[in-house]
Structure 1
């Protein structure tokens, strides 16, 4: 086995392990968004198979004076974020051609994590109609890096897809991608 094959196998193992942990949380944790009456029958989310083509290096453009954005929340209210960086990367389209895309990296007041809500060509068909999210916890300051790894295999469905008790920000139009991303969580079917 080559080092690359070993790295790929380790990456896939970690992705599957994180998915199993999330499924366990959804099935049994008191803070799970899954209705308590449905948890006993819950046997896990539906995921796309891990695909390294959707784990990409993105160029980082840090914004020195981050623009404030009000994201519409599914319940009609709004949440405030700051557009702290833009990530530029390529993804394959349906024909396998590389397509250049960008994502606005957002940060909530007081948070160190970057929030990347997005829509793609699977939204409302194979994935939740409100879009999906990724969180990024960069090591160090974004000003000190030229690239970050975006792993769409970790894209997840917001809690509002499971329960109306949660209100989730909708992706800004800047984060509506022109390609299908068959990676990460599929639309949850809790019926």
Structure 2
């Protein structure tokens, strides 16, 4: 992947998201907050937080029950895991699906920035099978620059799954969205 093209794409996506949050009626922000909203805060896009990795698919797709921010329980299939290193520290993140037919991998995670620089309950990554795989489809693109806050970070009207402790990283991932403030 060309770093310059990647950076331009990231910046364009961020502009589109800001416009959605400010103008769209389905924005997670209240009408009042949309009037004050300028833009979301992000870490600078650093290419080293973009990984091309194999998914180590689990032979048995066990069910994981996760509580959400409104006290409901949600079930996910533990689909596989990504193994990578950050600053020579080995990391593993579990990838989930809501059903076997789902084409998207859901990767909620917490890290050392959670509750300080980023949303306390963690951030999410969504990997679309046709968009986040390498040209031969053998590897996934795990791009932390696209880590986003769940909508419950913007309004308590939304229910968002908490991050299971198996996806709590001890190190800081300084990529993606930061804490929200108006």
1:176 aligned to 2:168?
Answer: yes
Q: Determine the structure 1 residue equivalent to 2:115.
A: 124
- Which of 15, 18, 27 is residue 23 of structure 1 equivalent to? 18
1:33 aligned to 2:28?
Answer: yes
**Number of residues paired by the alignment?**
178
Q: Deviations over 1:136-165 (max 9, x none)?
A: 01239x9x9553221000000000011111
- Which of 1, 10, 14 is residue 5 of structure 2 equivalent to? 10
The answer to whether the 8 Å contact 1:59/1:89 transfers is no
Find the aligned partners of 1:62 and 1:16 in 2 and give their Cα distance: 32
The answer to whether the 8 Å contact 1:23/1:44 transfers is yes
Q: Determine the structure 1 residue equivalent to 2:96.
A: 106
Q: Determine the structure 1 residue equivalent to 2:149.
A: 157
Greater CA deviation, 57-66 or 113-122?
A: 57-66
Q: Determine the structure 1 residue equivalent to 2:49.
A: 54
Find the aligned partners of 1:9 and 1:25 in 2 and give their Cα distance: 25
Find the aligned partners of 1:135 and 1:104 in 2 and give their Cα distance: 12
- TM-score normalized by the length of structure 1: 0.88
- Extract unaligned runs of 5+ from structure 2: none
Q: Deviations over 1:31-70 (max 9, x none)?
A: 1111111112211100000011111122321113201011
- DSSP 3-state at the match of 1:50: coil
Across the aligned residues of Structure 1 and Structure 2, the Cα RMSD in angstroms comes to 1.7
Q: Determine the structure 2 residue equivalent to 1:95.
A: none
Greater CA deviation, 146-155 or 20-29?
A: 146-155
- Extract unaligned runs of 5+ from structure 1: 93-97
- TM-score normalized by the length of structure 2: 0.92
